[in-house]
């Protein structure tokens, strides 16, 4: 293993862990930007799922009280996502994954750009159980089809006047469960070879350090700034997806 591989490995793990600790999503988008430079795609993706789950569990712990207090809200998102995951994998066999990713990325960019320049963010205060469940299902569908389980739930939660802890109490466990199922699928497919597990073990400390650093910054954010952060990160994530997927279609 060369020094270049190690540098990219640790940099990706640190960046992915930090963004997950800060916002509760985005591990794969940042980590893969580094890892795909030196690792095969299948190996890099399977590693990023492990890192997403591990760093996400730290985020779940810091909002455990809010999860307990709002568990019915979480279940409205999470339970419909579970059947959506295998359906998404079936959908993937019928459509182009890059086209689907670019479509969702365009939505993220438009959403992020529109709300980034608005002085006042929307605040949907009334209960919306049907919409919550629909968003949860679609998130699972996109997770199974394109690995973008967090995009729609993040958009929707950013429009609710919840505290940052309440928002994270939905997004963080939602993403952890969906990605844990993806990790199990990869394991059953034999993706976690001895080499992949070794590289994952090497990257793990940097992921944990990055996640703790992100959590430290998260604790300093006000509720309003956290909502703004989610919107800006959606915009940036959409751009990253476009930069990664568009060249493959040209």
Q: In the prediction, which pLDDT does 40 show?
A: 86
**Six-digit token pair at 68?**
């307990």
**Six-digit token pair at 26?**
């985005």
Q: In the prediction, which pLDDT does 217 show?
A: 94
Q: Is the pLDDT of residue 79 over 90?
A: yes
Q: In the prediction, which pLDDT does 99 show?
A: 81
Q: Encode pLDDT of 2-39 as tens digits.
A: 888 899 999 999 999 999 999 888 887 788 888 888 88
Task: Please state whether the predicted TM-score (pTM) of the whole model is above 0.75.
Answer: yes
- Give the sign of the dihedral formed by CA 121, CA 126, CA 22, CA 198: negative
Residue in the block written with tokens 């802890």: 165
User: Got the DSSP string for 180-213?
Assistant: HHHHHHHHHTT---HHHHHHHHHHHHHHHHHHHH
Q: Is the pLDDT of residue 76 over 90?
A: yes
Q: Is the pLDDT of residue 216 over 90?
A: yes
Euclidean distance between CA atoms 229 and 144, whole angstroms: 26
Q: Is the pLDDT of residue 63 over 80?
A: yes
Q: In the prediction, which pLDDT does 78 show?
A: 95
Q: Encode pLDDT of 88-140 as tens digits.
A: 878 767 777 788 788 888 888 988 888 877 777 777 888 899 999 999 999 98
The CA-based dihedral angle spanning residues 221, 227, 230, 233, taken in that order and rounded to the nearest 10 degrees: -80
Overall average pLDDT of the 224-230 stretch: 89
The CA-based dihedral angle spanning residues 110, 115, 117, 122, taken in that order and rounded to the nearest 10 degrees: 160
Q: Encode pLDDT of 39-57 as tens digits.
A: 887 888 889 889 989 999 9
| Secondary structure, 3-state, 150-164 | CHHHHHHHCCCCCCH
Euclidean distance between CA atoms 234 and 26, whole angstroms: 9
3-state helix, strand, coil in the chain (%, to 5): 80, 0, 20
């Amino acid at each position: 293993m060369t020094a270049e591989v190690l540098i990219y490995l640790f940099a990706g793990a640190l960046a992915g862990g930090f963004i997950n600790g800060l916002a509760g999503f985005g591990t794969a988008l940042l980590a893969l930007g580094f890892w795909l430079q030196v690792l095969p795609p299948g190996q890099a993706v399977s590693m990023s799922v492990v890192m997403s789950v591990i760093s996400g569990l730290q985020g779940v712990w810091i909002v455990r009280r809010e999860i307990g207090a709002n568990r019915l809200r979480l279940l409205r998102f999470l339970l419909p996502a579970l059947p959506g995951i295998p359906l998404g994998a079936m959908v993937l066999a019928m459509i182009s994954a890059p086209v689907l990713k670019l479509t969702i990325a365009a939505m993220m960019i438009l959403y992020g750009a529109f709300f980034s320049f608005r002085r006042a963010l929307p605040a949907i205060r009334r209960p919306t159980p049907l919409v919550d469940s629909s968003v949860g299902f679609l998130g699972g569908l996109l997770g199974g089809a394109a690995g973008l389980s967090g995009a729609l739930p993040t958009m929707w939660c950013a429009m609710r006047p919840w505290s940052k802890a309440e928002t994270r109490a939905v997004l963080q466990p939602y993403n952890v469960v969906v990605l844990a199922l993806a990790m199990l699928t990869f394991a059953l497919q034999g993706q976690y070879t001895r080499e992949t597990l070794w590289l994952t073990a090497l990257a793990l400390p940097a992921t944990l350090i990055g996640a703790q650093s992100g959590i430290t910054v998260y604790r300093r954010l006000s509720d309003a700034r956290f909502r703004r952060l989610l919107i800006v990160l959606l915009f940036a994530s959409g751009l990253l997806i476009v930069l990664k997927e568009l060249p493959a279609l040209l």
